[in-house]
Amino acid sequence: MSESLVQEVLDANCALAAHGLAPLTWGNASGIDRERGLVAIKPSGVAYDELTVDDIVVLDLDGNVISGGGRPSTDTPTHLVLYRAFEEIGAVVHTHSTYSVAWAQAQREIPLLGTTHADLCAYPIPLTRALTEEEIATDYEGATGTALVETIAERGPSELPCALVRGHAPFCWAASPAAAVDVAVTLEQVAQMALLSTLLEPRAEPLQAAVRDKHHARKHGPRAYYGQP
């Protein structure tokens, strides 16, 4: 696997901590080398400030460890289900960031109330269905991935770059580890803004549809004009 991707995965994990999105060791980032079919991911329970490239675990898409001394993140099966389901996904990030978790625990999707949200995604941030007791007993982390895939299947991962796992926390994805961290940072801001707006005005209207579509199109798709060409 390319050294640069392993380094990007290491950097993305450390960025989660630096952005305050992952207290203690509660977050993990991975990236995939589609050519070789290999995924690099954080080892389980290791502190971000002690992580080195040698700690990053490399696995194939069936979860067989190829290199890296430690046990991979317990959430690895969730990441793998997402990679297997969607070719467009190049990186996955999971955090327990405060405001995103607040919505997940309230078991509510995040309504689309403003342009900050529309810049990220043109839809409410969805919530996965509850898992069955059998799913939880037999393959909890894999079933979490399956529920995420079901939740975003209709729109696809480019249209829905993140979702909340019911009662748990967010998962985010993008083309690269750094871009997936940006999704996680943005989602947490969007979650905080939406929570504050909702406390202030419980019946807040969704953002006007034409503004929503305009903002989204400024940043995404063929007619985007945000950023440098």
Q: Which residues bind a second copy (CB under 8 A)?
A: 23-24, 26, 43-46, 70-71, 74, 96, 98-99, 101-108, 113-116, 119, 130-131, 133, 136-137, 140, 167-169, 182, 185-186, 189, 192-201, 204-205, 207-208, 210-211, 214, 218, 225-229
Residue 226 tokens, joined: 């945000």
Residue 226 known to be catalytic: yes
Rounded to whole angstroms, the Cα distance separating 49 from 147 reads 32
Which residue, 32 or 46, is less far from a second copy as judged by CB? 46
Rounded to whole angstroms, the Cα distance separating 79 from 145 reads 7
| Least separation in angstroms between CB 223 and a second copy | 12
Are 66 and 58 in contact, with CB atoms under 8 Å apart? yes
Which residue, 154 or 205, is less far from a second copy as judged by CB? 205
Give 60's strand partners: 38
| Least separation in angstroms between CB 103 and a second copy | 7
Q: Which of 54, 60, 213, 226 is catalytic?
A: 226
Q: Which helix (H) or strand (E) holds 33?
A: strand 27-33
Which residue, 62 or 200, is less far from a second copy as judged by CB? 200
| Least separation in angstroms between CB 144 and a second copy | 9
Q: Which of 33, 55, 119, 139 is catalytic?
A: 119
| Least separation in angstroms between CB 147 and a second copy | 11
**How long is the chain?**
229
Q: Strand, coil or helix: what is 186?
A: helix
Residue 123 known to be catalytic: no
Rounded to whole angstroms, the Cα distance separating 65 from 63 reads 6
Rounded to whole angstroms, the Cα distance separating 14 from 165 reads 23
Are 131 and 138 in contact, with CB atoms under 8 Å apart? no
Which residue, 50 or 154, is less far from a second copy as judged by CB? 50
> What residues are annotated to the active site?
119, 226
